[in-house]
A and B are shown apart, each in its own frame.
Chain A
Amino acid sequence: MQPAFSVIFLTTLIGAAQGLFLALYATEISGLGGLSALDSQQFLSSATLVALLLTALGLLASFFHLGHPERAWRSAVMWRTSWLSREVIALPLFMLGLFLYGGAHWSGLGNTRWIGAVTVLLCLGLFVATAMIYASVRFLQEWASPLTLVNYLLLGCASGLTLATLLAAGLGMTTLVTPYAFAAAALTLLAWVTRSAALLRNARLKPKSSLQSAIGIKHPRIVQMAQGFMGGSFNTREFFHGRTAQVLRSVKWTFLLLVFPLPLLCLILGANTASTALLFLAFALQYIGLLAERWFFFAQANHPQNLYYQTIS
């Protein structure tokens, strides 16, 4: 598939925001770090604001994916059948939850546990909806796997916790840095395993469709002589990344390096030396790595329609 940058930014930004929120809510209900009421109130409200900003940026990016952004409101209609529609509903609701949660903390109105609990449900629902947009397209076999959902969840949580570690260090919540860094490292390791599992699965994937089933002729040797046109078309633009296998491979190794081992190293060093700069580096590297990961996620998916467009003439 041709990677769409609007969607790459949308999924990585909201993933980090969701992971960050889950970390914040877990901090509140577990009383992690033993923060004073004032510290807790300040930290949770400002960090929730960061999560809200990330989701807003993601929402903004998503509009660039649409041919008619002014009709975007229509996309909430088909929630009974379409995961995309469900995401369109879940994202603003999650943002509303973040707003109320952060606002309740900031203004000291209370009831944050209840608001947070509902927002957690919305957050998890959003994870499922976002991942199922891809996992539910059975024709893209690289995506049609439970691993897609697991990876969206774990990569979002890992980047969110790396960001939480950075925010805790940056906002002076020193008691939170070590537990956050530990959780971020654990989630990053876990995501490393599941993302590698997805890569291994996709490497040994057997395409369900063949040229034989595509044109319905049962002969072992079929060669396309002409695709029917010599210029381009939507079919040649949208479904192929247009890069060499070499580029694809290097993007894969880049993200495998940037998302997992390098942030892990920065997290360990940053937490040990209490260096905000290193923790910033951890999040920056991991986020850039996730952009590459999402690009590769799209580029690697091979659409069966490509069987019909092998030879120009």
Chain B
Amino acid sequence: MTQLALVIDLNVCVGCHACVTSCKQWNTSGTAGSLVDLNPYGKDPNGTFFNRVQTFEVGEYPNTQTVHFPKSCLHCEDPPCVPVCPTGASYKRAQDGIVLVDYDKCIGCKYCTWACPYGAREFDEDRKVMTKCTLCVDRVTDTKLPETERKPACVLACPANARLFGDVHDPESVVSKAIAERGGYQLMPEWGTRPANHYLPRRKTEIRIHPEDLERVDNPLKLDRKLPEYAPRDLGREDFAT
């Protein structure tokens, strides 16, 4: 069974919000749209965004890390928002595991938002239906697009390549390998929702210097096996042979 998902690399995300704006642009003009903005130019603007980038500070000064944290629907494998829906408007697609809302069936009771611990769903006050991240279902399944463009808008927009997209059930996929090799994890595992989206943790950047990097072990000029004597040489005339 296919389970499409995003894998977000927190080690790479620079918090530029390009995924946020491209998501808004694509989804407000696509089949999920338009995403309502209440009072957008007024005093108290309210907006719908399926994807947000939040910023957290971890640690205590001076040992702090600024973590940029993109958040959208996690397309849970056991989505708690689906069984609570009284009309069946909220559903999980069998063929690719994407959690969607049928806008023609939704009665706008908002019960599903209570049942999502991540706050992934946003009510559309104009159309009076629940909306959410579609994982750009209209884009990833569009066979008229070139293969490389059949990805969610946020993934294509990311300039740092912090967002990976693929089938997390296929052990050979890029996303599955990234999760396995780099300790990919899920959000709020305590609720047993089994989110399909994973996050790759921060890594410590280390410089590794091997002895060979400093001294060539198989130097053919070093016949006496003694350490070379470094003659003082002028800048630009160093003897790299030793």
Contacts and interface: CB of A to CB of B under 8 A. Distances in A.
A304 B188 contact: yes
Contact of B114 (A74, A139, A225, A308): A139
Interface size bracket, A side:
35 or more
B20 interface: yes
A227 B45 CA distance: 15
Interface string A228-271: 11011111011100000000000000000000000000000000
A145 to B, nearest CB: 15
Given A66-B108, A77-B87, A133-B111, A139 B191 contact: yes
B46 interface: yes
Given A221-B58, A228-B20, A213 B119 contact: no
A25 interface: no
Interface string B108-135: 1111011111110111000111000000
B228 interface: no
Interface in B3-23: 17, 20
Nearest to B116: A305
Nearest to A208: B190
Interface stretch (A31-39, A44-52, A78-86, A101-109): A78-86
Contacts of A85: 86-87
Contacts of B86: 74-78, 82, 84-85, 88
A239 B120 CA distance: 12
Given A209-B188, A229-B52, A303-B119, A140 B114 contact: yes
Interface stretch (B64-72, B137-145, B165-173, B203-211): B64-72
Interface string B152-175: 000000000000000000000000
Interface string B33-74: 000000000001111110011111111100000110101000
Contacts of B80: 138-139
Best-surrounded residue of A76, A216, A239 (most CB of chain B within 10 A):
A216
Contacts of B49: 228-229, 233
A74 B105 contact: yes
A140 B89 CA distance: 22
Interface in A278-313: 303-306, 308-309
Interface residues of B, number: 60
Nearest to B36: A234
B84 A228 contact: no
A288 to B, nearest CB: 26
B106 A308 contact: no
Contact of B48 (A67, A78, A234): A234
B129 to A, nearest CB: 6
A8 to B, nearest CB: 15
Given A67-B107, A215-B67, A238-B113, A226 B54 contact: yes
B100 interface: no
Interface of B: 17, 20, 44-49, 52-60, 66-67, 69, 71, 80, 82-89, 105-111, 113-119, 121-123, 127-129, 185-191, 199, 201-202
Interface of A: 1, 65-69, 71-72, 74-78, 81-85, 88, 133, 136-140, 208-209, 211, 213-217, 219, 221-229, 231-235, 237-239, 303-306, 308-309
Given A139-B116, A304-B188, 12 more contacts: A67-B107, A71-B106, A74-B89, A74-B107, A78-B88, A84-B84, A139-B114, A215-B69, A217-B56, A235-B122, A238-B113, A239-B119
Q: Nearest 3 A-B pairs (CB), nearest first?
A: A67-B108, A305-B119, A67-B128
28 contacts: A1-B114, A66-B107, A67-B106, A67-B127, A68-B106, A68-B129, A71-B105, A75-B86, A76-B86, A78-B87, A138-B80, A209-B188, A216-B185, A216-B199, A217-B67, A221-B58, A227-B52, A227-B54, A228-B52, A232-B47, A233-B46, A234-B46, A234-B123, A235-B119, A239-B119, A303-B119, A304-B117, A305-B118
